[in-house]
Homo-oligomer: A and B are copies of this chain.
């Protein structure tokens, strides 16, 4: 009997309605860990070249990690993944809450869904048993309603759910998967994969957490962390994400009006402090977590906003706030609630609306196209109306819900000039023109622009730099630099981010890198090292890269959109922007550091060193398609 995990994968085929349990050997768990690692492994092996992400040939994976569901802060997460409807390549997103831990307690380490059902279905999993159920009466329901009905049907008010809303059903490429009503796996459009399989959701209930190899040691680790968090509560515990937006606005780091402008005077009206003062009614948390950073807001007027849908994270405050030029916090809270209610990514939806606003102001989108909505920057009501159209695929929303990239392609080259995405994934609320390594990460992340795979240069001080000593980085490095030393730091920090996604544990919990090792050894009884774990991250990145190459991406797609190479119109970054030659050089160095060739293709020796020589068969033929500056 293994420690920490169950040894069981639930494989569901919705085409022929079969369920099957697979039992990977222990070394599989140690090699891929779960989470993002499991997504990369299965996606490369099981989805052939040329599959449409919205066809039955795609797979949908839900994967906590080997130590998920053990009693320590940050262990409640899981990854979801498949070929991304948004990018067409490696698709993956992560959510917290309770669902991931519950799946582990229910006897499974991951679920792989194949095929597609003709009629709506859902899955019910309880203590080692799983069944496919009819979702005809759930189809079309908003997320919370759906959870209510499922729990009613099950007679179990504590069943945990991972659901899609109407946006996923409507195959919005921005659709997300929602755990426990307000913990969201937002990026990559994975909700549309569920929608395409007509899988409304997965409810789980488990009473048997996997055994721990060293419960005393884990208790000590978890207790010390909890004590530290209690005694020195960070801004996250007090405010949740988004307390420092005013500072961001002053340094140009708060994306404003579709990343066009550099100043947003009303930042302090929409930040987490304002949320706390005006609308917050509580702070939620995730399984076993001492940090408790999840805002819950409640409004009756001017909009009714239900507290059970949580509250806006920093990304949401930025995407529907400054990036749309909107300073109406109530409208932002409502936009957030609509996104959870309908199951659409707040970042993708907010930034696509911001993009549409710029198109509207530039005359590329006309009032005729919007159905009369005056879609100017700052018009909160227009923003909410447009969002409603997107989640329902009505009017202009039918186009916008395809995401920024497809909208821009439809609108033509004039619009593409300010379409802010990488590989089709819209930008999160962090500014590559300030944070140069972050920009490098947006260009390089396998899911496109993704702040979960990234380094935040502005935070590379104090403890963050001290942690890098684990990798031999001993000297501080200038914020503005995108030289070799910054690339080196980016490599290590991003690998640790990828690692947390493989472990499916939370970045917001202040675990040290070495404590990842200790947690893993305490839970599983292994004798792993930081070296081995960094290799898991490199392995995952190599597999994800090969998936993207197979999907048709080339080195030219590891790049930033045009707007990043021109300054903001005002503020601190009005005279500086990303320098193409510098970015090209940094990417070249990164490829070399990763053991990838100048086309970004992992070298054979790299695959062997990572123990994934089996992936050689999926390597693309040599190509010369690379952006040269």
Contact = CB atoms under 8 A, between A and B. Distances in A.
A528 interface: yes
B528 A531 contact: no
Contacts of A469: 526-528, 532
A365 interface: no
Contact of A530 (B488, B530, B608): B530
Interface in A521-537: 526-532, 534-536
A592 B611 CA distance: 14
Contact of A472 (B475, B591, B611): B611
Interface residues of A, number: 44
How many chain copies does the complex carry? 2
A484 B608 contact: yes
Interface in A500-548: 513-514, 526-532, 534-536
Contacts of A606: 592-593
Interface in A14-31: 27, 30-31
Contacts of A471: 529, 531-532, 535
Contacts of A472: 30-31, 531-532, 535-536, 610-611
A609 B323 CA distance: 36
A588 B595 CA distance: 13
B470 A529 contact: yes
Q: Name the prevailing secondary structure of the A interface residues.
A: helix
Contact of A532 (B470, B485, B609): B470
A233 B530 CA distance: 31
A470 B606 CA distance: 18
A116 B611 CA distance: 50
Interface string A597-622: 00000011111111101000000000
Nearest to A514: B529
A473 B611 contact: yes
A487 interface: yes
A474 interface: yes
A141 interface: no
Contact of A485 (B484, B589, B613): B613
Contact of A531 (B27, B531, B607): B531
Nearest to A603: B592
A84 to B, nearest CB: 28
A590 interface: yes
Contacts of A436: none
27 contacts: A30-B472, A30-B474, A470-B527, A470-B529, A471-B535, A472-B535, A472-B610, A472-B611, A474-B611, A484-B604, A484-B605, A484-B608, A487-B605, A487-B608, A488-B608, A488-B611, A514-B529, A530-B531, A588-B605, A589-B604, A589-B605, A590-B605, A591-B605, A592-B606, A593-B595, A593-B606, A593-B609
Identify the 10 closest CB pairs spanning chains A and B, nearest first.
Answer: A592-B605, A484-B608, A589-B605, A472-B532, A593-B609, A27-B474, A592-B603, A593-B605, A470-B529, A472-B535
